[in-house]
Structure 1
Amino acid sequence: MTTTEPTVAAPTAETAAEVPAASRSTDAAPRRRGYGARWAALPRELGYLLLGFPIAVVAFTVLVTLFSTGVSLIVIAVGVVVVLAALYTARGLGAFELMRLRWAGRPPVREPRWQRGPEGEGAWASFLRPLIDGHYWLYLLHGMVVFPIVSLFSWIVTVVWVSVALGGLTAWIWDRLLVQTTSGSVLQDSLVFRAFARLAEVLGVEPIVLAGVGQFVLGAVLLLTLPFITGGLTRLHEAVDRGMLGAWRSEALERQVAQLSASRGAAVQAEDAALRRLERDIHDGPQQRLVRLQMDLAAIERKLDVDPEAARALLGEAREQARDTLDELRALSRGFAPPLLQDRGLASALESLAARSPVPVTLEVQATDAALPAAIERNAYFIAAELLTNAVKHASASAVRLRLSTRDTGPSGLWLDLWVTDNGHGGAAAVPGHGLAGLDERVRGLGGLLVIDSPAGGPTVIGAHFPYVPERTATEPIPPTAR
Structure 2
Amino acid sequence: MSDHTDTPPPPARFAYGRHTWKEVAHLLADLPCALAGFLYAVATVAIGVGLSVTVIGLPLLALGLAGARGIARAERARARKLLGVRIDEPSRLPRRDGFFPWLWAQLKDPVAWRSQLYGFVRLPWGVLTFALTTVSLLVLWPVLPFLARGLANADRGMVRGLLSPSDELERRIAELESDRGVVVDTAAADLRRIERDLHDGAQARLVALAMGLGLAKEKLLDDPEAAAAMVDEAHGEVKLALQELRDLARGIHPAVLTDRGLDAALSAVSARCTVPVKVSVDLAERPAAAIEGIAYFTVSELLQNVSKHSRARSAAVEVWRTKDRLMLQVRDDGVGGARLDGAGTGMAGLAERLGAVDGVFVVDSPEGGPTVITAELPWRDRALDTPRGPAGDPARRRARDGARGR
CA distance in 1, matches of 2:298, 2:230: 40
- How far did residue 375 of structure 1 move? 0.6
Structure 2 CA distance for partners of 1:454 and 1:280, relative to 1, 3 Å: farther
Q: Choose the corresponding residue for 2:308, options 361, 370, 393.
A: 393
1:430 Cα deviation from its structure 2 partner? 3.6
Q: In the alignment, which residue of structure 2 is the partner of 1:404?
A: 319
Partner residue, 1:171: none
The Cα shift of 1:356 comes to 4.2
**Residues of 2 paired with 1:124 and 1:397: CA distance?**
53
Q: For the residues of structure 2 that align with 1:418 and 1:299, how far apart are their CA atoms?
A: 53
CA RMSD, 1 decimal: 4.0
Matches of 1:430 and 1:268, distance apart in 2: 21
1:418 to 311, 328, 331: 328
Q: C-alpha separation between the residues in 2 aligned to 1:391 and 1:323?
A: 30
Q: 2:213 aligns with which of 297, 320, 325?
A: 297
Counterparts of 1:297 and 1:272, CA distance in 2: 36
Shift of the alpha carbon at 1:293? Answer: 1.7
**SS in structure 2 opposite 1:424?**
coil
CA contact (8 A) 2:360 2:376 kept: yes
Amino acid at match of 2:331: T
- Assess, with a 3 A threshold, how the Cα gap between structure 1 residues 316 and 390 changes in structure 2: closer, same or farther: farther
SS of match in other structure, 2:376:
strand
Once the two structures are superposed, what CA deviation does each residue of 1:213-271 show, in whole Å capped at 9, x if it has no partner?
xxxxxxxxxxxxxxxxxxxxxxxxxxxxxxx99xx994111122122222211111221
State the TM-score, normalized to the length of structure 1. 0.45
Matches within 5 A, 1:79-158: 80=27, 126-128=81-83, 130=85
Residues 102-149 of structure 1 deviation map (CA, whole Å, 9 limit, x = unaligned): xxxxxxxxxxxxxxx979x86775324759999xxxxxxxxxxxxxxx
**2:379, 2:363 → 1: CA distance?**
21
Q: For 2:235, give the aligned amino acid.
A: R
2:260 maps to 344
**8 Å contact 1:403–1:419 — kept in the other structure?**
yes
- Conserved in 1, the CA contact under 8 Å of 2:336 and 2:368? yes
Which stretch has the larger CA shift, 318-327 or 361-370?
361-370
Could you tell me which runs of 5 or more consecutive residues in structure 2 were left unpaired when the two chains were aligned: 4-10, 15-19, 31-71, 89-113, 115-159, 385-406
Alignment of 1:358-369 (within 5 A): 358-369=274-285
Equivalent position to 1:374, from 276, 289, 296: 289
TM-aligned CA deviation for residue 319 of structure 1: 1.0
SS at match of 2:252: coil
Change (3 A) 1:311 1:417: same
Once the two structures are TM-superposed, the CA of residue 320 in structure 1 deviates from its matched residue by 1.4
Counterpart check, 1:283 vs 2:199: yes
Cα separation, 2, equivalents of 1:131 and 1:308: 84
Does the C-alpha gap of structure 1 residues 427 and 302 become closer, same or farther in structure 2, counting only changes over 3 Å?
A: farther
Report deviation, 1:326. Answer: 0.9
Q: Residue type matched to 1:338 in 2?
A: P
Distance 2:338 2:86 in 1: 46
Q: Which amino acid aligns with 2:310?
A: A
SS at match of 2:378: strand
**Residues 237-248 of structure 1 aligned to structure 2 (within 5 Å):** none
Match of 2:361 among 450, 461, 483: 450
CA–CA distance in structure 1, aligned partners of residues 86 and 244 of structure 2: 64
Could you say which residue in structure 1 is the equivalent of 2:239? 323
Letter in 2 for 1:422: D
Name the CA distance, whole Å, in 2 between partners of 1:439 and 1:297: 44
Q: Kindly provide the amino acid, as one letter, of the partner of residue 127 in structure 1.
A: L
| TM superposition shift of 1:391 | 1.7
> Is the counterpart of residue 262 in structure 1 residue 178 in structure 2?
yes
Output the CA distance in 1 between the equivalents of 2:275 and 2:282: 22
> With CA pairs under 8 Å and 6+ residues apart, which has the higher RCO, 1 or 2?
1
Bigger mean CA offset, 248-257 vs 302-311: 248-257
8 Å contact kept, 2:338–2:365: yes
1:279 and 1:79 map into 2 onto residues whose CA distance is 59
How far apart, CA to CA, are the structure 1 residues paired with 2:26 and 2:210? 86
1:470 corresponds to 2:381? yes
The alignment partner of 1:391 has SS state of helix
Matches within 5 A, 1:189-268: 250-268=166-184
Which residue is 2:349 aligned to?
A: 438
| 1:187-231 superposed Cα distances (whole Å, 9 cap, x missing partner) | xxxxxxxxxxxxxxxxxxxxxxxxxxxxxxxxxxxxxxxxxxxxx
Distance 2:73 2:199 in 1: 45
Q: Which amino acid aligns with 2:24?
A: A
What letter corresponds to residue 418 of structure 1 in structure 2?
A: L
**Alpha carbons 2:26, 2:82 under 8 Å: kept:** no
Aligned-pair distance for 1:275?
Answer: 1.6
Cα pair 1:267 1:445 within 8 Å, conserved: yes
**Number of aligned positions between the proteins:** 254
Distance 1:315 1:285, change over 3 A: same
Q: Distance in 2 between matches of 1:78 and 1:118?
A: 19
Q: 1:359–1:400: 8 Å Cα contact kept in structure 2?
A: yes
Alignment CA distance shift 1:387-1:130 (3 Å): closer
Identity within the alignment, %:
40
CA distance in 2, matches of 1:428, 1:131: 34
- Is the CA contact 1:404–1:418 (under 8 Å) kept in the aligned structure 2? yes
- Pair 1:428 & 2:343 matched: no
How does the TM-score come out when normalised to structure 2? 0.53
SS at match of 1:401: strand
